[in-house]
């Protein structure tokens, strides 16, 4: 069990934030660029007549590339270090983006999306392991929460950049590639020392399970629930009678709740056992999702419930990463980041098709019924972990923490 530390001023997230300011600026530019490309790609593909199946495969190719990247990233970082690996990943991403408007064919775009997924798994691993190495157990949740807020804001900003741009033109791709290029600059000129390169390069899920079983379960649950919601929440809204023009109000409410909720949850988990916070927010989130599944609300109630779902459930990955890194050494943090991202991708790839089949069989409410079951089960696992540990202490035995 992680000791519940007293938060000292020297360990505060605000003070720790200064050395990683360059990292966060790079994150903002890169995520904004990737978000812009992620939005313009399916639009441009539809205009080019790629077909629904091919457009769907563009998303699958991205996550397949990301899954492969989680297996290769530790070895790349081990060989050349964090900064050089980061620079190489971004350079490949720029090339992948430049190919798309020059060569608008399904085959070329599938390769480009897979490349972007591959390099972004590396970018995430470098950035997140760097942030975790700068954090302590007393501020890890808050610091990672700030990183996630930057991520959410950058994602929204990138999507908004498409407004007023012609998806048939080169301009959106040029802007996206330019944001990627600018993303290299803050990290390249930072004076902050990079973390020590990992000694182990092979991703070992058995080691990750031994380190923190509940973090592995939480990463899988986060990928499954988030992937299904992002892919199918608009379909759910249309299915319960929401007008197409009002659908974005629901999806934006989820994103807004996510951006607001992640920092308080992370901050609280720095003071209280992270599993307690995990159990609490997942129980609350499952209740809100059950309400979406059973009540089928519209208008303001729908947006309010969507906001509450984002406020609670989207903090799960932050808590999972923070808990695992509490128990890891600095040289192991690249492996932790890559491993949990691998697990997250498995959930994000497999859950949306299952949710889609359930929605076809049982109606649109099946989406949030499935997510409520996922989050409820994770809350139960967290409670069991705490109960087992308390029982072992009462008997004077020491068990490996769940």
- What is the pLDDT confidence band of residue 51, given thresholds at 50, 70 and 90? confident
The reply to whether 204-402 shares the fold of 16-193 is yes
Mean pLDDT value of segment 9-23: 60
CB proximity list for 84: less than 8 A, separation 6 or greater: none
Tokens matching residue 39: 């939005």
The widest CA-to-CA distance across the chain, in whole angstroms, is 69
- pLDDT > 90 in the chain, percent: 30
Task: Kindly report, residue by residue over 135-172, the tens digit of the pLDDT.
Answer: 777 787 888 788 888 888 888 788 777 777 777 788 88
What is the structure's pLDDT at 18?
62
Residue bearing tokens 């590396």: 122
As its CATH architecture, domain 204-402 has Up-down Bundle (1.20)
What is the structure's pLDDT at 201?
58
Lowest mean pLDDT among 115-129, 157-171, 179-193, 234-248: 157-171
Bigger pLDDT: 189 vs 312: 312
CA 296 from chain centre, in angstroms, equals: 27
Question: What is 16-193's CATH superfamily?
Answer: MFS general substrate transporter like domains (1.20.1250.20)
Distance CA 149, CA 128 (A): 13
Helix (H, G, I), strand (E, B) or coil at 402: coil
What residue segments make up the domains of the chain, in order of their start? 16-193, 204-402
- What is the pLDDT confidence band of residue 97, given thresholds at 50, 70 and 90? very high
Mean pLDDT value of segment 184-203: 71
Instruction: Work out the angle at residue 366's Cα, subtended by the Cα atoms of residues 364 and 372, and round it to the nearest 5 degrees.
Output: 130
Using CB atoms within 10 A of its CB, is residue 206 exposed (0-12), middle (13-18) or buried (19+)? Answer: exposed
What is the structure's pLDDT at 80?
80
What is the structure's pLDDT at 374?
97
pLDDT at 9 over 50: no
pLDDT at 363 over 60: yes
CA dihedral 265, 270, 272, 278 (to 10 degrees): 40
What is the structure's pLDDT at 7?
41
Mean pLDDT value of segment 19-28: 83
Q: Which of 174, 36, 175, 179 is nearest to 102 (CA)?
A: 174
Per-chain mean pLDDT for the chain: 83
Task: Kindly report, residue by residue over 254-282, the tens digit of the pLDDT.
Answer: 988 988 999 899 889 989 999 999 999 99
Neighbours of 360 (CB within 10 A): 10
- What is the pLDDT confidence band of residue 291, given thresholds at 50, 70 and 90? very high
């Amino acid at each position: 069990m992680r000791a519940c530390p007293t938060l000292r001023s020297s360990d505060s997230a605000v003070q720790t934030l200064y050395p990683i300011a360059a990292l966060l600026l790079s994150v903002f530019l890169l995520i904004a660029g990737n978000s812009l490309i992620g939005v313009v790609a399916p639009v441009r593909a539809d205009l080019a007549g790629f077909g629904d199946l091919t457009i769907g495969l563009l998303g699958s190719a991205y996550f397949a590339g990301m899954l492969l990247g989680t297996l290769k990233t530790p070895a790349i970082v081990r060989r050349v270090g964090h900064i050089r690996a980061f620079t190489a990943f971004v350079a490949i991403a720029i090339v992948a983006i430049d190919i798309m408007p020059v060569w608008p064919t399904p085959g070329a775009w599938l390769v480009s999306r897979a490349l972007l997924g591959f390099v972004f798994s590396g970018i995430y691993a470098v950035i997140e392991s760097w942030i975790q190495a700068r954090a302590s157990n007393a501020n890890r949740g808050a610091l990672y929460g700030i990183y996630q807020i930057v991520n959410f804001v950058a994602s929204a900003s990138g999507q908004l950049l498409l407004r007023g741009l012609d998806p048939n033109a080169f301009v959106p791709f040029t802007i996206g590639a330019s944001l990627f290029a600018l993303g290299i600059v803050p990290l390249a000129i930072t004076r902050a020392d990079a973390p020590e390169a990992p000694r182990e390069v092979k991703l070992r899920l058995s080691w990750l399970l031994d380190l923190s079983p509940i973090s592995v379960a939480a990463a899988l649950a986060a990928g499954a629930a988030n992937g299904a919601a992002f892919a199918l929440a608009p379909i759910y809204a249309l299915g319960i009678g929401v007008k197409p023009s009002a659908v974005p109000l629901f999806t934006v409410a989820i994103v807004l709740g996510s951006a607001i909720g992640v920092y308080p949850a992370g901050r609280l988990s720095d003071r209280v056992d992270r599993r307690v916070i995990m159990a609490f927010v997942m129980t609350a989130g499952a209740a809100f999702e059950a309400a979406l599944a059973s009540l089928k609300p519209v208008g303001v109630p729908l947006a309010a419930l969507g906001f509450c779902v984002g406020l609670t459930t989207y903090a799960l990955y932050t808590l999972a990463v923070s808990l695992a890194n509490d128990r890891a050494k600095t040289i192991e943090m690249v492996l932790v980041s890559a491993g949990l991202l691998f697990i997250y991708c498995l959930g994000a790839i497999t859950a949306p098709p299952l949710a889609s089949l359930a929605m076809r069989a049982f109606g649109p409410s099946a989406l949030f019924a499935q997510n409520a079951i996922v989050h409820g089960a994770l809350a139960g696992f967290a409670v069991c972990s705490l109960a087992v540990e308390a029982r072992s202490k009462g008997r004077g035995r020491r068990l490996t923490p769940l």
